[in-house]
Structures are given as C-alpha cells and as structure tokens.
Amino acid sequence: MIEGSEFNKLILETIDEHCDDPNVKNLIQKSLRYELDIWNRHIRPSDIEDEYEQMVEDVLKGRKQ
C-alpha cells in the first residue's frame, strides 16, 4: 500500500465527489489514513477498535489530531 499512489488519489477523489457531509468525509479520511498507517502491521483488534472510537469522537468534537 503506497501513500499518494494513483489509487489512493482515486479513492479520495471519489469520496469527495459523492459525499457532502464534512463530518462523514473527515471520518472516512481519518479511517483510511489510519488503515494506511497500520498496513501490514500486527495491531491488536481491541487497539484498532479503541482508535476508531476515538476517531468518531474527535470528528464530532471537531478536534484536530
């Protein structure tokens, strides 16, 4: 998985075109960035769940990480 590859651009552009809600867009972008960070790494499922719950909270609070 390569950051900045043509495919990541394509994925992000498609989300941008088909989503108007800034919060939804923000959560998806955060999720994809996190997945890219943990790609091929062994992370405990409970840690992933915690991270996702934190992401949801951050997006709703409008906090920047």
Partner 1 sequence: MKYAISSISITNYRQYLGTQVLDFTFDKTKNVSLILGKNGAGKSNLLNAITWCLYGIEIHKSKDHHDISGMPVINTSALKKLKVNESITAEVTIHLKTDSGPWIIKRTLEGGKSGLGDLYFDDASKLSVVHPVYGQDKIDHGDDTQILINNLLPEALKNFFFIDGEQLREFFKVSTPENISKAIDIVSQLELVYKASDHLSKVETNLRKSVKNSTPQLERVQRNIELTEKKIEELKTTIKTIEKQKEKDHEEIAKVREFLKTHNSTQIASLEKERQSLETDIRKLNEQLRKKEYQRNSYLIEIAPFIYLKKEIEQTYGIIEEKVEKGELPPRIREIFIKELLEKGRCICGNDLVGESRKALEEYSKKVSLSELSEISIVGKTTIEDIFSSIKEFPAKIDAINEEIEDFKDQLEKKERRLEHISEEVKEYDVADVRRYEERREELNRLIAKNEQVLILQNSDLTILNTTLKDLKDEYERELSKNKKNDSLKERLTLVQSSLKVLANTEKIIKTKIRYQVEKSLNENFKTLIRKKTAFSSITIDENYDVKVHHIDGYNVINDLSAGEYLILGLSFMSALMTISGFQAPVIIDTPLGKIDDEHREYITTELPRFLAGTQLILLVTPTEYDHNVQANLSKYLINENFYRISENKEQTESTVGRYDGN
Q: Give 42 or 64: the residue with its C-beta nearer to partner 1.
A: 42
| Signed CA dihedral, 31, 32, 38, 43: sign only | positive
| 58 touching partner 1, by CB under 8 A | no
CB of 34 to partner 1, least distance (A): 8
> Which residues, 6+ apart, have CB-to-CB distance to 64 below 8 Å?
none
| 53 touching partner 1, by CB under 8 A | yes
CB of 31 to partner 1, least distance (A): 4
Contact call for residues 65 and 37 (beta carbons, < 8 A): no
| 43 touching partner 1, by CB under 8 A | no
Give me 54's structure tokens.
């934190």
